[in-house]
Amino acid sequence: MVKRSEFRSDLYYRLNVFPVLLPPLRERREDIPALVAHFVEIYGRRMSRQIEHVPETTMSALESYHWPGNIRELQNLIERAVILSNDGVLPNPLPAVGTWLFTLPRLQLL
List per-residue pLDDT tens for the chain, 110 residues long.
Answer: 778 888 788 887 877 788 788 899 999 999 999 999 999 999 999 999 999 999 999 999 999 999 999 999 999 999 999 999 999 999 999 987 665 554 455 555 55
Instruction: Please report the pLDDT score of residue 4 as a whole number.
Output: 85
pTM: 0.74
The answer to whether 32 and 93 are in contact (CB under 8 A) is: no
How far apart are the C-alpha atoms of 18 and 22, rounded to whole Å? 13
What element of type H or E holds 77?
A: helix 70-84
Sign of the CA dihedral 60, 63, 66, 72? positive
